[in-house]
Structure 1
Amino acid sequence: MVSLYDGGVYLVNGKEIVPEAEAAKVKALTGREADRESDRKGTMAYSIMEQHNTSGNMENLKIKFDSMTSHDITFVGIVQTAKASGMEKFPLPYVLTNCHNSLCAVGGTINEDDHMFGLSAAKKYGGIYVPPHIAVIHQYMREMMAGCGRMILGSDSHTRYGALGTMAIGEGGGELVKQLLCDTYDVARPGVVAIYLDGKPAPYVGPQDIALAIIGAVFKNGYVKNKVMEFVGPGISHMTTDYRNGVDVMTTETTCLSSIWRTDEDTRSYLAAHGREDAYKELNPADVAYYDGCVYVDLSTVKPMIALPFHPSNAYEIDELNANLKDILHGVEEEAKKIAGGRSTFTLMDKITEDGKLMVQQGIIAGCAGGNYTNVIEAANALRGQDCGCDQFSLAVYPSSQPVFADLVKKGAISDLMAAGAIIRTAFCGPCFGAGDTPCHNGLSIRHTTRNFPNREGSKPGNGQMSAVALMDARSIAATAAKGGVLTSAAELDCWGNIPEYEFDDSSYKNRVYFGYEKAETEKELIYGPNIKDWPEMSPLTDNILLKVCSKIMDPVTTTDELIPSGETSSFRSNPLGLAEFTLSRRDPEYVGRTKVVDQLEKARVNEGEEAETGLAPELKGVFETIRTIPGNEDVKVGETEIGSMVYAVKPGDGSAREQAASCQRVIGGLANICKEYATKRYRSNVMNWGMIPFQMEADPEFEVGDYIYVPGIREALEGDMKHIKAYVIGDTVKELDLYVADMTAEEREIVKAGCLINYNRNR
């Protein structure tokens, strides 16, 4: 059972939940009056943020992190940006892992060139470099970097180490660049929601089951959006730390900002086993702590879960699904039709067997969520002496790091899995984003990974290819594998809980990882491959702007995967213009061509300088003639009006932290987004760091692709309260729009006015 409290709560002595409406009970329990503002300081999150805040003002934080991490489809761009901004060495421990483009199988030498760039950057600037196949990014950080009371920033959305007492945040690369330049992460103090865990999970219930139950309860209503999820309650003690890690990493899918868990002796044991007992300290909320909400989870009632395509929140109990297969699967098929847009087909009803069971084509246990030691051991327990069959179903298992892999070999788990027909692979994140073990067309893959958005398994609807992913825990995936691919709940097996103690051996790290922190060799050169390109020049914001609507997306939510697809595009992440060719390619294939035309108009305006008026393209002459009919704009000058493209989406940015979802728009002419609401803080931050204006509007859009929107006095507007910004749709008639921009820090306003973070830093 997962239930949400309506309003804030007080947590007394770490055990008793007192709804704010019943605050008088606090005095009866403690002898003192409840004080919401004072008791906010009683959360673990408040204490950690206070220790890392440099602003002196806890309402508006300026955070400096203890360490950072990036993987090989983000670190090249981050280092390039920081280098262009004047960075001389890494001022904090910065881990560069190589777990996304590990295969080096796409794009010629591109992937390995990026790896060599990363190694050369670690040497030149003093970083920590983890070679391909050694560890996935988050497992390495758990094993080697996370510690109680710390804060870590990562350029991957699943940067979550709360179960180890670390508040970790996944953001776009621009925020990491700021830390490399000794600047701060600026954010209004987030709310904190208690995740109260009670009871004990059944032996057949895994961390993914608990995570999916929580995600299903909180995602759609935004209950924890941009807040910190603080895990408390007695149920925590019924989970090992390795198990807690599996729950914690999935908090990203709730759209929360970060997470933190109370720590205990099991946390100490985990850190001690990894040679880092000094990183432990006990974390608990104060005797009285105020939370902005509370999610109550009775762990004993959680059952094996499945998140059907196309979102982790599309969650059902497996038993519920099996009892209502046709009705539930029909709904997924209807959603698939919307996603495919007539370009492809995806069906599920044809996967129902004659005896009414669901047959799946693939199982994957991988990455920072599924590849943990405990999960793989339990999968081996289920498959020992069993077999996956020799039909269409296949199973692949990716241990999360070489130390985990090595101990699984010692324990015999790997041989048990291989004997059953499972394929064992190295530490790699590919199945999480469509770059590894892509299933067949019209296939259904069940995965203990982090995300099942459309196309993250490698689909290309534009080419008529489409498959889908359902998320499940490793235990139920193994149970399904033991039945040859017939969807099966782990509750149907009785083999769980026999987990030998993990023995960590860091030899593979000592012998392969480059540890260069505080050993910068600044005289060394960076190693560039032919695909690694510098960022193109971007213009500063002018007094007025003219936006051409180049895409209009009316879906309820637009993910970062739709803004810039994952998978094969990863090979071009080091080439800004090359990657930009894929922008919106699976959602609006005509977008790139439209925005390139606008980009050429802007380049012509910049190149012609004072002659821009006379050299104005015919398309724009009539537009400016109309603009000059607007009172107060009779004398508007072309040279003072930047021309750029604009994307409208109802709620953009759910999903990945990848900055390229914004930068790809910018480098080919993007100047603004307009939406009703940004799905995540990190996407909105990316928009601003790349010099685009994060407009919002309450009304439905009364403009279409191809229309122009004129916004006068935008620089002046960015210096005001930004609550009512007049804009005009320029057509046969002029229609007025009421736009606004939500709160921006002083630095964010200056970054947008400068044209991007690189320009802002150069100006300094």
Structure 2
Amino acid sequence: MVKLYNGGAYLINGNTLIEENDKDKIKAATGKDIDKEEARKGSIAYNILKAHNTSGNMDKLRLKFDAMASHDITFVGIIQTAKASGMEKFPLPYVLTNCHNSLCAVGGTINEDDHMFGLSAAKKYGGIYVPPHIAVIHQYMREAFAGCGKMILGSDSHTRYGALGTMAIGEGGGELVKQLLQDTYDVNRPEIIAIYLEGAPKAGVGPQDIALAIIGAVFKNGYVKNKIMEFVGPGIASMTTDYRNGVDVMTTETTCLSSVWETDEDTKKFLSVHGRVGDYKQLKPADVTYYDGLVYVDLSTIKPMIALPFHPSNVYEIDTLNENLEDLLHEVEVEAIKIGGEAGKGLKLVDKIENGKLRVSQGIIAGCAGGTYSNVMEAAHILKGHSTGFDEFNLNVYPSSQPVFIETTRNGAVADLMESGAVVKTAFCGPCFGAGDTPANNGLSIRHTTRNFPNREGSKPGSGQMSAVALMDARSVAATARNKGILTPATEYADDYVVPEYHYDDTIYKNRVYNGFGNAHEESDLVYGPNIKDWPEMTALTDNILLKVCSKILDDVTTTDELIPSGETSSYRSNPLGLAEFTLSRRDPEYVGRSKKVDVIEKARRSGADILKDNAELADVFDKIKTIEGFSNIIANDTEIGSMIYAKKPGDGSAREQAASCQRVIGGLANIAKEYATKRYRSNVMNWGMLPFLLDAEPDFEVGDYIFVPNIKSHLRGDMSKIPAYIIGNDIKEISLNIAEMTDAEKSIVEAGSLINYNKSKIK
């Protein structure tokens, strides 16, 4: 059972919950009147934030982190940006892993060029470089860096180490650049939501099941959006820290800002096993702690879960799915048509029902969520002595690091998996984002990975290929494999198995990881491949701007995977203009062409050319603008012109900054939304010099219309709650835009045209 409290709650002595309005119970439990604001200070999260805040004001946080991490889809752009901004060395430990772009392009070395750039950067600036296939980013950080009371910033949305007492945040590259320049991460103090755990998981129930149950309860209602989830309660003790890690990493899918857990002797044991017992300290809430909300979870009631395509919140108990297969699978088929158009019609899930059971075509256990030691061991135990079969179904297992791989090899688990027919591979995040193990057309893959957004498995609707992913726990993936592809909850094979003690061997890290922190060789050169390109020039904001509507998306949520696809685009992550060609390619293939036409006009304006000459459409637009009171003398060449995307709720998903930068480098100047799905995407928009407009009303404009926003710089520095704008179509219609709170630095970044421009101006 997962229950959400309606309002705040007090936690007394770590085990008594009282709703905030029940003052009599609070006084009876504590013997005194309680001050809510003082009680807020009792949370673990509050005290970690306080220790890392440099502003002196706990309502307006300016945070500095203890360490950072990036992978090879993001670190090239971050380092290029920081270099252009004047960085001379890494001022804090910065880990560069190579777990996303691990596979080199056939016939070329595009990805390996990025890796060599990363190694050269680690040498030049004093970084830590983890070569391909050695560890996925978050497992390495758990093993080597996370510790009680720390804060870590990563350029990957699943940067979560809360089970080790670390508050970790996944953000776009711009926020990491700020830390490299010794600036701060600025955010209003977030609300803190208690996740109170009671009871113990049943045999056969794994961390993904717990996580999916919570995600299903909180995602759609935004209960924890941009807040901190603090895990407390007696149920924590029923799980090992390795198991807790598997729950914690999935908190990203709730859209929370960060997470943190109470720590205990098992946390200490985990850190001790990894040679870092000094990073342990007990973290627990004060005797009286106030939380802004509360999620109550009875672990004993959680059953094996499945998140059907196309979102981790599309959650059902596997038993419930099996009882309602035809109805629930038909709903997914309908959604597939909405997402994939003609290609979506090819996804036939109902046809996979055999004798009342669901047949799937593939199983994957991988990455920071699935490839942990205990998950691999549990899967191997379920499959030992059994066969995955010789038909369509196949199982692939990726231990999350070489130390995990070594241990599961030594204790026989890898042999048990391989004997069953499973294929065991090296540490790689590809199955999480569509760069590995793509199922056949019309295939259904079950995965213990992090996401099942559209095309996360690598299908290409634009080319007529459509497949889908459902998320499950490694235990139930293995149970399904044992049943040769017939969907099966792990509880059917559960017994009293106990995962053997883990023995950590970091020899591979000592032999292969380059650790140069504190030893920068500033005289050495960066190594560039031909696909690594600098960021193009971006324009400073003008007083008046003109936006052309280049895409209008009315879906309830627009993910970062739709804004810029993952998977096959990874080879272009270090080439801003090359990557930008894929912007919205799976959602609105005409967008790039429309935006680039606008960009040609803006470039001509900057060069001093007469932009109205030979452009009858634009001349007509400015003629109409001149009829608006106060703008009869507007000069077209003094007005910045850019493209705009409207989406109801953009930005759910990845932290990667390219979801915004790809818009910017081909002419993007603003987004208009009803709301932004995550703080990190909105931050990316601002760091790339685009305006994060909000529109409360329904959008009364179409693709091809123009929107004139006058005096925007004055509004940025004044009242952002009501910004007059004008739709210039067949006629002129006034609308009211607004922008949510921005820091002074964010305003300056947008005015400068990008974080790079802003930092360059500071150097001057």
TM over 0.5: yes
| Cα drift, residue 440 of structure 1 | 0.6
1:24–1:34 CA contact under 8 A, matched in 2: no
1:308–1:314 CA contact under 8 A, matched in 2: yes
Aligned residue identity for 2:353: I
| Cα drift, residue 103 of structure 1 | 1.7
Instruction: Name the structure 2 match of 1:258.
Output: 258
- Is 1:493 the equivalent of 2:493? yes
1:383–1:478 CA contact under 8 A, matched in 2: yes
Instruction: Name the structure 2 match of 1:737.
Output: 735
Instruction: Name the structure 2 match of 1:440.
Output: 440
CA distance in structure 2 between the aligned counterparts of 1:695 and 1:116, rounded to whole angstroms: 39
- Is 1:618 the equivalent of 2:616? yes
1:216–1:315 CA contact under 8 A, matched in 2: yes
Instruction: Name the structure 2 match of 1:38.
Output: 38
CA distance in structure 2 between the aligned counterparts of 1:161 and 1:85, rounded to whole angstroms: 30
Secondary structure at the aligned position of 1:533 is classed as coil
CA distance in structure 2 between the aligned counterparts of 1:241 and 1:690, rounded to whole angstroms: 38
Instruction: Name the structure 2 match of 1:714.
Output: 712
Instruction: Name the structure 2 match of 1:633.
Output: 631
2:612–2:619 CA contact under 8 A, matched in 1: no
Aligned residue identity for 1:219: F
Structure 1 614/364 Cα, relative in aligned 2: closer, same or farther at 3 Å? closer
Instruction: Name the structure 2 match of 1:558.
Output: 558
| Cα drift, residue 30 of structure 1 | 1.5
Instruction: Name the structure 1 match of 2:342.
Output: 342
Instruction: Name the structure 2 match of 1:119.
Output: 119
Q: Within 5 A, what are the aligned runs for 1:498-513?
A: 498-513=498-513
Structure 1 586/496 Cα, relative in aligned 2: closer, same or farther at 3 Å? farther
CA distance in structure 1 between the aligned counterparts of 2:550 and 2:751, rounded to whole angstroms: 22
2:604–2:611 CA contact under 8 A, matched in 1: no
CA distance in structure 2 between the aligned counterparts of 1:311 and 1:253, rounded to whole angstroms: 9
CA distance in structure 2 between the aligned counterparts of 1:361 and 1:105, rounded to whole angstroms: 26
CA distance in structure 2 between the aligned counterparts of 1:725 and 1:54, rounded to whole angstroms: 33
Q: Percent identity?
A: 72
Match for 1:699 among 690, 693, 697?
Answer: 697
Secondary structure at the aligned position of 2:133 is classed as coil
1:204–1:496 CA contact under 8 A, matched in 2: no
Q: Deviations over 1:45-73 (max 9, x none)?
A: 00000000000100010000000000000
Instruction: Name the structure 1 match of 2:247.
Output: 247
1:139–1:368 CA contact under 8 A, matched in 2: yes
Mean CA deviation greater in 748-757 or 488-497: 488-497
Instruction: Name the structure 1 match of 2:333.
Output: 333
Instruction: Name the structure 2 match of 1:351.
Output: 352
Aligned residue identity for 1:311: H
CA distance in structure 2 between the aligned counterparts of 1:172 and 1:360, rounded to whole angstroms: 35
Instruction: Name the structure 2 match of 1:583.
Output: 583
Structure 1 171/732 Cα, relative in aligned 2: closer, same or farther at 3 Å? same
| Cα drift, residue 217 of structure 1 | 0.2
| Cα drift, residue 760 of structure 1 | 0.2
CA distance in structure 1 between the aligned counterparts of 2:697 and 2:615, rounded to whole angstroms: 32
Mean CA deviation greater in 343-352 or 576-585: 343-352
| Cα drift, residue 614 of structure 1 | 6.1
Secondary structure at the aligned position of 1:728 is classed as strand
Secondary structure at the aligned position of 1:612 is classed as coil
Instruction: Name the structure 2 match of 1:725.
Output: 723
Secondary structure at the aligned position of 1:259 is classed as strand
1:613–1:637 CA contact under 8 A, matched in 2: no
Aligned residue identity for 2:288: V
| Cα drift, residue 270 of structure 1 | 0.2
CA distance in structure 2 between the aligned counterparts of 1:675 and 1:216, rounded to whole angstroms: 24
- Is 1:475 the equivalent of 2:479? no
Instruction: Name the structure 1 match of 2:646.
Output: 648
Secondary structure at the aligned position of 2:41 is classed as helix
CA distance in structure 2 between the aligned counterparts of 1:119 and 1:160, rounded to whole angstroms: 25
Q: Within 5 A, what are the aligned runs for 1:91-240?
A: 91-106=91-106, 108-240=108-240
CA distance in structure 1 between the aligned counterparts of 2:734 and 2:348, rounded to whole angstroms: 45
- Please provide the CA RMSD for this pair: 0.9
Aligned residue identity for 1:666: R
1:54–1:64 CA contact under 8 A, matched in 2: yes
CA distance in structure 1 between the aligned counterparts of 2:685 and 2:756, rounded to whole angstroms: 13
Instruction: Name the structure 2 match of 1:291.
Output: 291
Q: Deviations over 1:321-340 (max 9, x none)?
A: 00111111111111111001
TM-score (norm 1): 0.99
Aligned residue identity for 2:711: G
1:599–1:669 CA contact under 8 A, matched in 2: yes
CA distance in structure 2 between the aligned counterparts of 1:43 and 1:497, rounded to whole angstroms: 36
Q: Deviations over 1:532-559 (max 9, x none)?
A: 0000000000010000000000000000
1:553–1:648 CA contact under 8 A, matched in 2: yes
1:76–1:117 CA contact under 8 A, matched in 2: yes
Structure 1 488/523 Cα, relative in aligned 2: closer, same or farther at 3 Å? same
CA distance in structure 1 between the aligned counterparts of 2:268 and 2:669, rounded to whole angstroms: 49
Secondary structure at the aligned position of 2:200 is classed as coil
1:24–1:33 CA contact under 8 A, matched in 2: no
| Cα drift, residue 25 of structure 1 | 1.7
Aligned residue identity for 2:476: S
- Is 1:666 the equivalent of 2:664? yes
Secondary structure at the aligned position of 1:556 is classed as coil
Instruction: Name the structure 2 match of 1:84.
Output: 84
Secondary structure at the aligned position of 1:72 is classed as coil
CA distance in structure 1 between the aligned counterparts of 2:123 and 2:614, rounded to whole angstroms: 50
1:45–1:260 CA contact under 8 A, matched in 2: yes
Instruction: Name the structure 2 match of 1:50.
Output: 50
| Cα drift, residue 612 of structure 1 | 3.2
Mean CA deviation greater in 31-40 or 188-197: 31-40
Instruction: Name the structure 2 match of 1:72.
Output: 72
Aligned residue identity for 2:742: M
CA distance in structure 2 between the aligned counterparts of 1:32 and 1:264, rounded to whole angstroms: 29
- Is 1:418 the equivalent of 2:418? yes
CA distance in structure 2 between the aligned counterparts of 1:754 and 1:105, rounded to whole angstroms: 37
Instruction: Name the structure 1 match of 2:521.
Output: 521
| Cα drift, residue 496 of structure 1 | 5.0
| Cα drift, residue 29 of structure 1 | 1.1
2:105–2:571 CA contact under 8 A, matched in 1: no
The runs of 5 or more residues in structure 2 that have no matched partner are none
Q: Deviations over 1:156-209 (max 9, x none)?
A: 000000000000000000000000000000000000000000001001100000
| Cα drift, residue 721 of structure 1 | 2.5
Structure 1 613/349 Cα, relative in aligned 2: closer, same or farther at 3 Å? closer
Secondary structure at the aligned position of 2:534 is classed as coil
CA distance in structure 1 between the aligned counterparts of 2:495 and 2:661, rounded to whole angstroms: 49
CA distance in structure 2 between the aligned counterparts of 1:199 and 1:91, rounded to whole angstroms: 44
Q: Within 5 A, what are the aligned runs for 1:542-553?
A: 542-553=542-553
Aligned residue identity for 1:348: L
Instruction: Name the structure 2 match of 1:567.
Output: 567
CA distance in structure 2 between the aligned counterparts of 1:657 and 1:24, rounded to whole angstroms: 44
Secondary structure at the aligned position of 2:476 is classed as helix
2:439–2:467 CA contact under 8 A, matched in 1: yes
| Cα drift, residue 641 of structure 1 | 0.7
Instruction: Name the structure 2 match of 1:598.
Output: 598
| Cα drift, residue 731 of structure 1 | 1.8
2:342–2:464 CA contact under 8 A, matched in 1: no
Aligned residue identity for 1:351: K
Q: Deviations over 1:92-130 (max 9, x none)?
A: 000000000112145721000000000000000000000
Secondary structure at the aligned position of 2:21 is classed as helix
CA distance in structure 2 between the aligned counterparts of 1:33 and 1:362, rounded to whole angstroms: 58
| Cα drift, residue 494 of structure 1 | 2.9
2:721–2:739 CA contact under 8 A, matched in 1: yes
- Is 1:684 the equivalent of 2:682? yes
1:73–1:100 CA contact under 8 A, matched in 2: yes
The runs of 5 or more residues in structure 1 that have no matched partner are none
Q: Deviations over 1:11-45 (max 9, x none)?
A: 11111111011133222111221211111111100
